[in-house]
Structure 1
Amino acid sequence: MQVIDWDLAVATGTRLVRPGPQVSREEARQAVADLRRLSREAEGHVREFTRIDTETAPQPATIVDRPGWIRANVDGFRVVLEPLTERMAARRDQTPAIVSAVGSRVTGVEVGAVLAFLASRVLGQYELFLPPDPTGQAPAGRLTLVAPNIVNAEQELNVHPRDFRLWVCLHEETHRVQFTGVPWLREYIRSQMTEFLLASDIDLPALLNRLRSAADTVAEVVRGGEGNLIDAIQTPEQKEILDRLTAVMTLVEGHGDYVMDAVGPSVVPSVADIRAKFHHRREGGSRLDRTIRRLLGLDLKMRQYAEGSAFVRTVVERSGIDGFNRVWASPQNLPTQEEISRPERWIARIDGAPALPGANGATG
């Protein structure tokens, strides 16, 4: 049973996505070569600064265009949603075939439209969830950089191309180091996401109630109000799980932002100019763009960068980088959402806890 028509999602997304910036073939080739080279350079800077060791050999970054990003994310979604798909397949007899067929096509179009919107904005990401490799030889994750979006951003911001590309690579390589250097982190996030999905109300009356709530949320946001679709369609149990997921992702994203700015001054000469212009760009956009970002919860992601970075900065200032790295010792050492807002509470809790092995095997 298909919850989402994935082929239709890809077809819709690739049809709706806007084309990238107009560049010559040579400029495109040079951008791809630069990003591959700078991602490897950034990886060394990040490992040295974060002091997170990993036995995983670094892999070259995968450079994609906008349709390539859409296809990659559909592959990832299929892996993430597998537990829910299996659960719904087990209840196949309870759902009329026509409802399943129509529903999967509707959601396929919706997912494709969302991906088309995001595909022109995402600069890069570390893909945590890839389809299984039958040989077992492929890495578990993959660093992906979206070349047209990086080129488009540097042109819009009027910043130094080499500096901007390295700055972006510093952030994304931090995520690769996090997930290859902290063995339990990927599985922790995956288990929380699985728990979140399986806490869904998948009986028809409950689903209709949540869809009505989502429609009310859309109308409210269009009028300028608060709220997002993610909040509107959650069960109470899911809200608790999402709090944990939000806390860990705020930490991960904030750590990436902190590292890119801490390392930046020594290797990115124009980092201050880039940061100021990029922050302004994050806050900007048309009213329609801002409305869609709010509906999809992307404004929450923007807050995660700021709040997570402030948490990391405060802890490093008070406890040093080794003191901060105790956060990677175990899931129990992760900060709660409240502790991210009040870093001194996390420091007090961890200082009072028994010493645990760190991410690199050292004690904190």
Structure 2
Amino acid sequence: MDLFRSVGAVAGASGDGVVDWAAVSEAAKSATEPGSLDLSPADREGYAADVRDARDRIREVGGVEFDVPETIALQNRHHWIDANVDTFQRLIAPMAEEVGQPLLPGASRVINTGSMSFSLAFLARNVLGQYDPLLLAEADGGPDHELYFVHPNIERTAKELNVEFPRFRRWIAFHEVTHAAEFGAADWLPEYLESRMRNTITELSAGGLNREAFSELDAAMTAVEGYAELLMDRAFDEEYDDLRRKIDARRGGNGPVDRLVRRLLGLGLKRRQYERGAEFFNAVADTAGLETAAKVWDEPGNLPSDDELDDPSRWLARIE
């Protein structure tokens, strides 16, 4: 880790865009130890087997048809940063053109580059796995979705939580594969999320807030996270009460500084989405079954509204 190099990369941000993405990558990686990918063949096969088992089990329990990526990526923290620099660049570039140049473009570029570098460095040290539907990706014949596991973080977190590594690895695989199930069941979901993200970020960049777009985005992401929580809890093929308890505690942060950073990055909102969404879908499934809960992915109109998330009976009355 080289903090001096990280600061230098941010300070030297250049170019014509609102963010210097090359500097973001250099600064974030300079501030983050990559971690080891020294895995045995058995460990590598363990990841692949967990994904296959999760796919088959979730198909059976959830009654949803979907595919997982043909290959999975075992990443260190630098690999994850590179993948997500590409994602954020695809997301932000079109919006920057709509907003236009700020009053002080050089200073603004340095601030934006520093903020993005800090965010990606923090996340790279904490993200365990990621299902990426490749929002905004160009149709160039490449994959349309990818599945990442950040092995150094999974290994470290298993030790911190005092959980056997193979069991914890399997838990993470089930969680990420549930997201593949959601996007596989709802081919309209990537475009729906993309449009709301564009509207929300464009308005924020211009100093405003499209409340309708933000509310729809928040409700959709709450459904995505909540349904994943429901499905993995019901599909996971081992005892998991201790894992659930420890993971929920980890989402709250490990100390005052960690909790502050999570709050600044909006991770408190994400935790609320997990909890609120899980409560909604557990109530739906307990009342009407998993098959009814899966109707949320039939069409965009089946997504719960903000009010329905707090009153699942209203959603059930509308859908059934």
TM-score of the alignment, normalized to the shorter chain, above 0.5:
yes
Deviations 1:9-35 (A, max 9, x none): 111110112453xx79355x6544322
Instruction: Report what 1:341 is aligned to.
Output: 310
Q: How far is 1:133 from its partner? A: 5.4
* 1:10 is aligned to 2:25: yes
Deviations 1:221-242 (A, max 9, x none): xxxxxxxxxxxxxx242x3321
Aligned residues of 1:8 and 1:105 also touching (Cα < 8 A): no
Instruction: Report what 2:151 is aligned to.
Output: 147
Instruction: Report what 1:104 is aligned to.
Output: 109
Q: 1:201-220 to 2 correspondence within 5 Å?
A: 202=206, 206=207
Q: Give the alignment's TM-score, normalised by structure 1.
A: 0.78
* 1:129 is aligned to 2:134: yes
Instruction: Report what 2:59 is aligned to.
Output: 47
Instruction: Report what 2:120 is aligned to.
Output: 115
Alpha-carbon distance in 1 for matches of 2:134, 2:18: 18
Deviations 1:202-247 (A, max 9, x none): 3xxx5xxxxxxxxxxxxxxxxxxxxxxxxxxxx242x332111111
Unaligned runs of 5+ in 2: 1-15
Unaligned runs of 5+ in 1: 207-234, 352-364
* Residue 286 of structure 1, aligned match among 231, 235, 255: 255
Instruction: Report what 1:213 is aligned to.
Output: none
- Shift in alpha-carbon separation, 1:248–1:114, aligned structure 2, 3 A: same
* 1:25 is aligned to 2:38: yes
Alpha-carbon distance in 1 for matches of 2:22, 2:131: 23
* Residue 328 of structure 1, aligned match among 269, 294, 297: 297
Alpha-carbon distance in 2 for matches of 1:148, 1:159: 15
Q: Tell me how large the CA RMSD over aligned residues is.
A: 2.1
Q: How far is 1:153 from its partner? A: 1.0
Alpha-carbon distance in 1 for matches of 2:264, 2:205: 21
Letter in 2 for 1:302: R
Alpha-carbon distance in 1 for matches of 2:75, 2:34: 13
Deviations 1:41-68 (A, max 9, x none): 21111122221223x5642221111111
Deviations 1:267-294 (A, max 9, x none): 22x4122222222222341111111111
* 1:156 is aligned to 2:167: no
Instruction: Report what 1:244 is aligned to.
Output: 216
Aligned residues of 1:3 and 1:104 also touching (Cα < 8 A): yes
Q: Indicate the SS of the match to 1:17.
A: coil
* 1:67 is aligned to 2:82: no
* 1:276 is aligned to 2:245: yes
Aligned residues of 2:154 and 2:169 also touching (Cα < 8 A): yes
Q: Indicate the SS of the match to 2:289.
A: helix
Alpha-carbon distance in 1 for matches of 2:85, 2:119: 11
Deviations 1:58-98 (A, max 9, x none): 4222111111111111100111113212324xx45xx56xx
Aligned residues of 2:37 and 2:151 also touching (Cα < 8 A): no
**Identity fraction in percent:** 33
Aligned residues of 1:316 and 1:324 also touching (Cα < 8 A): yes
Q: How far is 1:40 from its partner? A: 2.0
Aligned residues of 1:253 and 1:304 also touching (Cα < 8 A): yes
Alpha-carbon distance in 2 for matches of 1:275, 1:134: 38
Alpha-carbon distance in 2 for matches of 1:153, 1:338: 36
* 1:175 is aligned to 2:179: yes
Runs of 4+ deviating beyond 6 Å: none
Instruction: Report what 1:319 is aligned to.
Output: 288
Letter in 2 for 1:49: V
- Shift in alpha-carbon separation, 1:24–1:174, aligned structure 2, 3 A: closer
How many residues align? The count is 305
- Shift in alpha-carbon separation, 1:154–1:166, aligned structure 2, 3 A: same
Letter in 2 for 1:25: D
Alpha-carbon distance in 2 for matches of 1:315, 1:193: 27
* 1:303 is aligned to 2:315: no
- Shift in alpha-carbon separation, 1:247–1:119, aligned structure 2, 3 A: same
Asked which structure has the greater CA Rg, the reply is 1
Q: Indicate the SS of the match to 2:304.
A: coil
Q: Indicate the SS of the match to 1:145.
A: strand
